[in-house]
Amino acid sequence: FSQQEQLEWDDVNKRLQHHGFKPVFFADPVENRNLSDLVLLDKKSAGEIRTTLRTMLTDSDRRQTLIQELIKSNNQLKEEAHGHKSRAAQHSDRAIKLEGLLDALKTRIQDLEDGCLGKAVQQLSHTQQLQWEKQEAQKLSRALEQELSKQKKEAAQLQRKLYFTTKEEERRLARQNQAFKDICNKVSRQNSPADQQVLDVIEFYETKMTQLMDELSSNVSSCVLSKAYQDQQKESKSQIEALMREMERLKQELETRCVCVRACVHSLLMEINAVVTNSDAPFWLHRQRPSSMGLNKFEALVPTLEMWAQQLHLLKDLQKGLNKLTGRLTPWQTGEGDHRPAEEVKVEDMMLLVNTMLENTATDDEKVLRSPTRYTLGSMVSHFQKLFDVTSLSGVFPRMNEVYTRLGEMTNIMRNLQDILQLDDRTPPAQVVNHVARLASSSRIHDLLGDDDIDSVIVKVRQHEEFFPAFHALIVDILQTLGVSNLDDILPALKSLKQTAR
């Protein structure tokens, strides 16, 4: 076949390989003697097949492009949804922080009251504990004193018994000695019944003396115990005196501590009262005159502090309103102040914001804006850096030059396109782009059909409409008959059928 057909088939094969299909191979009938393995096509059929393949591949490219655009649009929608969710989360976090600040302001006064009451209750409980310990110590002291007096009485009785026992023992020893002497004098005489009675009496007295000696030894051990008990009583008395002194010291310390706590609380209340009744306080609070005597002058502190907390809470709403007003009056300024924590809301910041808005929106008699302030210019430069992704101040001027250069180039391109396409100067850019797209589509149709006049183009289109349904039906029938799903599998299936038939 000719060189032109070879080039056309090469182009078709490249596009097939680009889409992942196998190319179409050509064989010389002279060199290949087995004609049953070849498929012969005339020039018209080959051209129609090439046209059909180009059309199908072009339609595939168009559908792939459409799918990519749909995927891109889906990703953009997902990003926008994620951005909305993140902004909603930020607003929710900020609301939570503002509620936390309100709770903290409400709990500060409550903590102060609870702290004072807690300290007072603690001191009272400590005082009651000391009083209970004092009563217990007094009870123990009285019990020890009673025990001591009882032991003293027992010791006195034991001493009297010991004294009488000693006297009796001395008299008994004297009588015994006298009787022994009498017996010695009568040894030489014969024993008589009277002597036997005397000996019995002596034996009885000796037995009695042994018993008294044993009792005397037991009395001596009782004296030792009595002395030890007296020593213990002295030690207990000294401990009782030490406990009494410690109790007096704790009582004095408790009284001093209570006085100090009352003084601290009273001083704190006086300072708070001085702040509330100061001449710089709000007029509604300043005109309330406190009571002159006692703790009644502190009764107005709690309502006053509650009102101040309410005013502080309203400052956050005022801050929100000022931020919205700033966004409307000066939209070129950055919105960094809208995301500050609730703890940073200050009256000074709001005054500065109001002054800035007054300076930026003030006009003269001729309704002409004044020259911008340094703060306004800085905000505009920051907005430019954020908008055009400039990290440093030194890169602002090069980026501005680049932006103006690109803008000039785009303006010149649009003017040239309007002149070439013979459009009006007021034609919007979107309409110019649509016109160029239509021209590009018509150019692609002209390149595809390869004809210059409109009549030949119409003929080609009609031929395509007549040929494509029949070709498509034929290909579908062949695929169903051979049991394959791809065009590349048709030739191998036919070859296998031919070999099977042989």
The token pair at 229 is 């008990």
pTM of the model: 0.25
Mean pLDDT by 10 residues, the chain (502 residues): 77 79 70 64 78 83 82 84 84 82 78 76 80 83 83 81 80 73 58 59 68 65 63 72 75 72 75 71 51 57 75 78 76 54 64 75 50 71 81 81 85 84 83 81 59 62 74 81 81 82 72
Between the two ends of the chain, the Cα-to-Cα distance in Å is 30
Would the CA dihedral through 295, 300, 303, 309 be positive or negative? Answer: negative
| List of residues 6+ apart from 311 with CB closer than 8 A | 282
The token pair at 82 is 């994620």
Q: Whole-angstrom Cα distance, residue 326 to residue 335?
A: 9
**Of the candidates 42, 46, 54, 43, which has an alpha carbon nearest to the alpha carbon of residue 13?**
54
Check residue 330 and give left, alpha or beta (phi > 0: left; psi -120 to 50: alpha): beta
Q: CA–CA distance from 469 to each of 50, 52, 367, 472, 490 (Å)?
A: 15, 11, 73, 5, 19
Q: Whole-angstrom Cα distance, residue 310 to residue 316?
A: 10
Q: CA–CA distance from 404 to each of 304, 397, 410, 415, 417 (Å)?
A: 60, 10, 10, 16, 20
Count the helices and strands in the chain (H runs, E runs): 11, 0
Give the pLDDT of residue 286.
Answer: 46
Please give the torsion angle defined by the CA atoms of residues 155, 156, 158 and 160, in that order, rounded to the nearest 10 degrees.
Answer: 160
Give the pLDDT of residue 152.
Answer: 82
The token pair at 439 is 């021209």
Instruction: Collect contacts of 304-312 with beta carbons under 8 A, ≥24 apart.
Output: 304/276, 305/109, 305/272, 305/276, 306/109, 309/102, 309/105, 309/106, 309/109, 311/282, 312/105
Give the pLDDT of residue 414.
Answer: 85
Give the pLDDT of residue 366.
Answer: 43
